[in-house]
Chain A
């Protein structure tokens, strides 16, 4: 089955700096890659996703890039704010199949 690895497990940045979280996947058939944000005590919420026919997608301060050849995708958060502090999960799936999640990155934005 698919295996998703996520790095780093913890990340601290100064407010206003950028944060980058990277994930790799093993199954070249995976074609959908969502990112979830989970604040303490809350449910995971989808913040951005990308499909395999697209190389990059942006939504205001967040962006995701996908390199199908290398089988890795990354989440980029620019101009970080304290409210960006949370655990971020990447995932990979093939349409119609289950989701495989990374182990999460705990992001702390220091004011």
Chain B
């Protein structure tokens, strides 16, 4: 099976802009989680979607939002970008929330200038 894919891989934006990142899970996986990775902070959970519904949400401001489509592909959006949003954004998929093993995509590296 093809692995988790994310697009774009790299992105440069300026403060105040918005950005949309995309994640395609492994075929058959219906749960997609998003993480922000920054040096020294590790991976911080943003949200998880399953069957087009947000199941869990981390402690991020409302500028961070997401959605999931009927084919399980997911997008996350960040509005009004701030310098501190510069990070590697990773998504991970698993068959469903009760399956523990998740598989990560390669990430989208976002730089906010």
Chain A contacts to B: CB under 8 angstroms: 6, 32, 34, 36, 42-46, 49, 51, 89, 91, 93, 95-104
Interface size on B, residues (CB 8 A): 23
| Chain A residues closer than 8 Å to B83, beta-carbon distance | none
Whether B100 and A93, one on each chain, are in contact in the complex, defined by CB atoms closer than 8 angstroms, is yes
- With contacts A43-B90, A43-B104, A44-B104 taken as known, whether A103 is within 8 angstroms of B40 at the C-beta atoms is yes
Alpha-carbon distance A95/B98, docked complex (angstroms): 6
Whether B41 and A103, one on each chain, are in contact in the complex, defined by CB atoms closer than 8 angstroms, is yes
- With contacts A43-B90, A95-B100 taken as known, whether A101 is within 8 angstroms of B44 at the C-beta atoms is yes
Chain B contacts to A: CB under 8 angstroms: 4, 33, 35, 40-45, 48, 56, 58, 90, 97-98, 100-107
Residue A42 contacts which of B42, B48, B106 (CB distance < 8 angstroms)? Answer: B106
Whether A98 and B56, one on each chain, are in contact in the complex, defined by CB atoms closer than 8 angstroms, is yes
| Chain A residues closer than 8 Å to B101, beta-carbon distance | 34, 46, 49
Whether B100 and A34, one on each chain, are in contact in the complex, defined by CB atoms closer than 8 angstroms, is yes
Alpha-carbon distance A101/B105, docked complex (angstroms): 16
Whether B45 and A98, one on each chain, are in contact in the complex, defined by CB atoms closer than 8 angstroms, is yes
In the complex, which residue of chain B has the Cβ closest to the Cβ of A51?
B100
Residue A102 contacts which of B33, B42, B98, B106 (CB distance < 8 angstroms)? Answer: B42
Q: How far is the CB of A23 from chain B (nearest CB, A)?
A: 11
| Chain B residues closer than 8 Å to A103, beta-carbon distance | 40-42
Whether B104 and A89, one on each chain, are in contact in the complex, defined by CB atoms closer than 8 angstroms, is no
- With contacts A34-B100, A103-B42 taken as known, whether A97 is within 8 angstroms of B90 at the C-beta atoms is no
Residue A101 contacts which of B42, B106, B107 (CB distance < 8 angstroms)? Answer: B42
